[in-house]
Structure 1
Amino acid sequence: MRDLSSGSDEAGLAPVRYLSEARSASSGVERSSARSARTTGPRFPQADETPRAAAPRSPDTADEPREAEPVTAEVSDATITSFSGISLGADEPANEPEVVERAVVEQRVLRALSRKALSEKEVRALIAENGLEGPEVEEIVDRLTDLRYVDDRTLAEELTRRLSEGKGQSKSAVGRALSARGIPGDIVSEALDEIDDGEERRVAFEIAEKRARQMGSLDAQTLERRLSGFLARRGYPGGLVRDIVSDIAKRRPSGAAGPRFR
């Protein structure tokens, strides 16, 4: 009988190992492979590494099964979903224009009116700036005028009082200011009719006299020149300016002349 425990066979057969020894050796190889994989990890191609071309297949291997190649799917606009969760279909434009809501525009106009009185022309311009067009513009303006939120006649009267009495502007300067706000000409004429010649002269004399008291140290010639420019810048006509300046100069005390300035 052959000794199965010996390491070789007289007939040249390979040595026989017990089952436990074979399992131990196999486990050792698996553990070594696992440690190697954990240490090195999977290898990824570097950014500057040129991919190697696949070796050509010989005629002898043409019938051998080939590895499945990865399939790259093309992504179209129909499969893209925006951040808002709205899916863009194939027949839907990617850049859809913003829809202007009438209620939003009305609220913006009301906020503007709460800060400052506006004319009808200014309200129309504000609505157009917010992107609303067509018949809805006139509908909003008509509604605001019916509610008296917009009233060109009232606005003209208030501006006339503030510019004439408060800021001392002339009748012509007030008319230009009202026209610049888009108030119709007939309403401007009605508002200016409240300023008669006597009222305009009174306002001009009051602001000129107040200004003259602030220039008490000037000589008569310099005072007249500066008062004339002061009234002219507020739109008063030349004849009225000369009359008022002459009147103020006569009322000035004789000893009030100071140093002369050019």
Structure 2
Amino acid sequence: MARRNVPADIADELLSRFVEVGLIDDAAFAATLVRSRSEFSHRGRARIRQELREKGVDREVAEEVLAELDPADERAAALELAYRKVRSMASLERQVAYRRLAGMLARRGYGPGTVSSVLAEVLGDPAVEFSTAGQ
């Protein structure tokens, strides 16, 4: 409102009223964002935490909502993403595919433990084949 030259006293009054009637609710916004990013964008806890911070959500509110994120669901999303991505890596050597998948999962915000276990499962799957060109 400051950018639109709304006087500070009027802006404060409007914001108070918006909070009172439920139009501004950081906890609800954070819960919706966490659900959306984890289910549809396949993002991990760290990346979602960063996004909440960028959007100005209070740290305590963000941590409360993130605590509700089930680690099993987070791992399942990472696994789905890795299986989807590994299909396009058949022409690569296993080490290159491992490095690229690990980087992609880390950028999406998955923790090292999740990345390791997902890659062990995906790359250990006999149905996943890689090039033997440098071996």
TM-score (normalizing by structure 1): 0.47
- In the alignment, residue 59 of structure 2 is paired with which amino acid? G
| 1:148 is the counterpart of 2:13 | no
Name which structure has the greater RCO, CA cutoff 8 Å, separation 6+: 2
SS at match of 1:202: helix
- In the alignment, residue 131 of structure 2 is paired with which amino acid? G
Q: How many residues align?
A: 134
| 1:257 is the counterpart of 2:115 | no
Aligned partners of 1:192 and 1:246: how far apart in 2?
26
| Distance apart, 1:207 and its partner CA | 0.8
Alpha-carbon contact 1:205-1:244 (below 8 Å) kept: yes
Residue of structure 1 equivalent to 2:93: 219
RMSD between aligned alpha carbons? 1.9
Q: 5+ residue gaps in structure 2?
A: none
Of the three residues 44, 61, 64, the one matched with 1:187 is 61
Alpha-carbon contact 2:45-2:66 (below 8 Å) kept: yes
Residue of structure 2 equivalent to 1:81: none
Choose 1 or 2 for highest CA Rg. Answer: 1
TM-score (normalizing by structure 2): 0.87
| Distance apart, 1:233 and its partner CA | 1.1
Could you tell me the percent identity over the aligned residues? 28
Residue of structure 2 equivalent to 1:235: 109
Superposed CA offset, 1:224-255 (max 9, x none): 1211111111122223212211111111437x
Alpha-carbon contact 2:2-2:8 (below 8 Å) kept: no
Alpha-carbon contact 2:106-2:112 (below 8 Å) kept: yes
Alpha-carbon contact 1:169-1:234 (below 8 Å) kept: yes
SS at match of 1:217: coil
Matches within 5 A, 1:129-208: 129-208=3-82
Q: 5+ residue gaps in structure 1?
A: 1-126
- In the alignment, residue 28 of structure 2 is paired with which amino acid? T
Alpha-carbon contact 1:222-1:260 (below 8 Å) kept: no
